[in-house]
Amino acid sequence: MDTMILNPREQSQVNEAGALLRKGELVAIPTETVYGLAADALNPAAVKRIYEAKGRPADNPLIVHVLSLEEAAPLVQVIPETARKLAASFWPGPLTMILPKSLKIPAETSGGLSTVALRVPSHPVARAVIEAAGRPLAAPSANLSGRPSPTSFRHVYEDMNGRVAAIVDGGDCSVGVESTVITLATDPPRLLRPGGITVEQLREVLGRVEVDHAVLEKLEDGVKAASPGMKYKHYSPKAEIYVSELSFQEYRELLLQNPSAGALCFDGEEEGFRDRAVCYGEIYRGKTQARRLFSALHELDEKGLNPVYARAPQKHGVGLAVYNRLIRAAGFKILRPQVEIIGLTGPTGAGKSTVAQVLAGLGSAVIDCDLVTKDKKTYDAACIRQLQKAFGSDILIKNELDRKILAERAFLSPENTARLNEITLPVITGRISQIIEEHKKSGCRYIVLDAPTLFEAGAEKLCSRILVVTAERSLRMERIMKRDGISGEAAERRMAAQYSHEFYVNRSDFVIDTSDGAHITEKVQAFLSFIKL
């Protein structure tokens, strides 16, 4: 088959796409999530062609794309209040809702199920093509079944040239992972596939939303999947991928010890293995990772890297969608640390010490990083020589570092502070690494770095998990005033000098809020079960 390439900036070519679809042909179209392989959703023969072109199992249902909630109404039995609320918040956009279908939807489209998946895309080209076709369009991702989803015209062309009547070239997709899929056919509603609309956003609108266990875990053979797509091998590049839940430091060592392995890492982490690394976005920024994940998987294939060690994203926000795709691309091969190194941090007055005590009570080794910083043994002779060079030889009195004079001089200017950090931080993290190794030898499962300045010190790189403790601002203020015997203004100043609540939460794997002052042990146990997942 000759595949036409259509330019959506020409209305006549959009009309051509519409005409092909009305005739029962296949047309690949851009959407804000990934490219879709579209066909007339109400024409069983056209829908069958989708399964042939993709090599897709016939029991894996398709998503039906329409222009509005009004257009969706005839395709389902009723539009429940939950659907109205979600549509008002997230349509048009990367959200798919599953509802009991009406007789209009052929069995081919719904994979034989009694429900149908519906989505109102926001991409102007997708909308123009639906408009031109004048009917609902069924569209799975426009890749060969099992391959990574296409997020650029080139990806679609590679998989679909010769298999479809036309491809509409709409550039790169902005979200980069397929839509969030939620079923409203169950009570409470359940997330079947995470995507650009996060479960946190869904809960804001609906209250309770369950997360299907297939989102994070491999389905055992023979178990019926709530969403048939979850059970198939997916997003597989040619390379063997392993998802690393190790600390960055352990990850880096792994790559240095395996000089032929490829790295799928975050921007700026590739030093030492640059020529065999593909970066897929900024650390802690699920949105940029989502946008780049699938093209990164394509790029790994082009480079022929094998095996590939991938850095794991966070499991919240859009990160959850990235993690869900990545573990499938890896066939659920996940590297977990033998000993979890937990970075415990958060704003002042949040209740870190209480959480540290609970963790210690549950058998973790706790390293007080402030004590390491204050400990004179931390600073070796070479470090002290450098400090003397930078801040004057009289900072050493009777062979002992005078921390008071050093602090006075170092905090005179931002440049001095930066110089102090440059000299001391590597020594401090080096010492912490040493203590970690000693604890590892003693056989404990969890090592906690109690570190108010975890990020300032770059010590998060030593951690496999970041646990943030937080509390409401007024409460934190009250606590520091009482704890340190200072005024409200002094407490305000101290809080203002620190990173914001969002800063910590964005970088966390898990957050414990101590505002209600209760159930700390339960919250810590919830964290420990979360990291065992």
Per partner kind, with CB cut-offs from 5 to 8 A, the member of Mg ion, ligand TXA, none near residue 63 is ligand TXA
Beta bridge partners of 513: 470
Q: If binding is defined by CB under 6 A, does position 160 make contact with ligand TXA?
A: no
Yes or no: say if 147 and 236 are a contact pair by the CB < 8 Å rule.
Answer: yes
**Sequence-ordered list of residues with C-beta below 8 angstroms from that of 353, at least 6 positions apart, any chain:** 450
Candidates 1-9, 107-115, 305-313, 411-419: pick the segment binding ligand TXA (CB under 6 A).
Answer: 107-115
Amino acid identity, residue 37? L
Closest CB to ligand TXA among 60 and 470? Answer: 60
Which of Mg ion, ligand TXA, none has residue 424 at its interface (CB below 5 to 8 Å by kind)?
Answer: none
Among the listed residues 43, 60, 109, 141, the single contact to Mg ion using CB under 5 A: 141
Q: What three-state secondary structure class fits 348?
A: coil
Shortest Å distance, C-beta 51 to Mg ion: 12
Among 119, 123, 328, 465, binds ligand TXA (CB under 6 A): 119
The contact pattern for ligand TXA, residues 65-84, with x = CB under 6 A and - = no contact, is: --------------------
CA distance linking residue 498 with residue 531, whole number of Å: 27
Which of 61, 93, 150, 351 touches ligand TXA (CB under 6 A)? 61
Q: Report, in Å, the least distance between residue 141 CB and ligand TXA.
A: 4
Pairing of β 95-100 and β 180-183: parallel
Q: Which is nearer to ligand TXA, 21 or 98 (CB)?
A: 98
Spatial separation of the C-alpha atoms in residues 520 and 450, rounded to whole Å: 16
- How many Å apart are CA 366 and CA 372, to the nearest integer? 12
Contacts with ligand TXA in 31-50 (CB under 6 A)? 31, 33-34, 36
- Binding partner selected for residue 378 from Mg ion, ligand TXA, none, CB under the kind-specific 5 to 8 Å limit: none
Interatomic CA distance for residues 144 and 489, integer angstroms: 62
Nearest to 521 by CA among 412, 398, 310, 359: 359
Buried b (16+ CB within 10 A) or exposed e, 448-476: bbbbbbbbebebbbbbbbbbbbbbeeebb
**Position among 82, 141, 201, 364 found at the interface with ligand TXA (CB under 6 A):** 141
CB 144 within 8 A of CB 54: yes
Cβ atoms of residues 483 and 495 within 8 Å: no
Strand pairing partners for 119? Answer: 65, 96
One-letter amino acid at 440 equals K
Binding to Mg ion (CB under 5 A) within 422-481 occurs at: none
Establish if 244 lies at the interface with Mg ion (CB under 5 A): no
Residues in contact with ligand TXA, shown as a per-residue x/- string from 170 to 209 under the rule CB under 6 A: --------xx-x----------xx----------------
Task: Select from 54-62, 337-345, 374-382, 520-528 the region that touches ligand TXA (CB under 6 A).
Answer: 54-62
- Interface residues toward ligand TXA, by CB under 6 A: 31, 33-34, 36, 60-63, 96, 98, 110, 113, 115-117, 119, 139-141, 178-179, 181, 192-193, 227-229
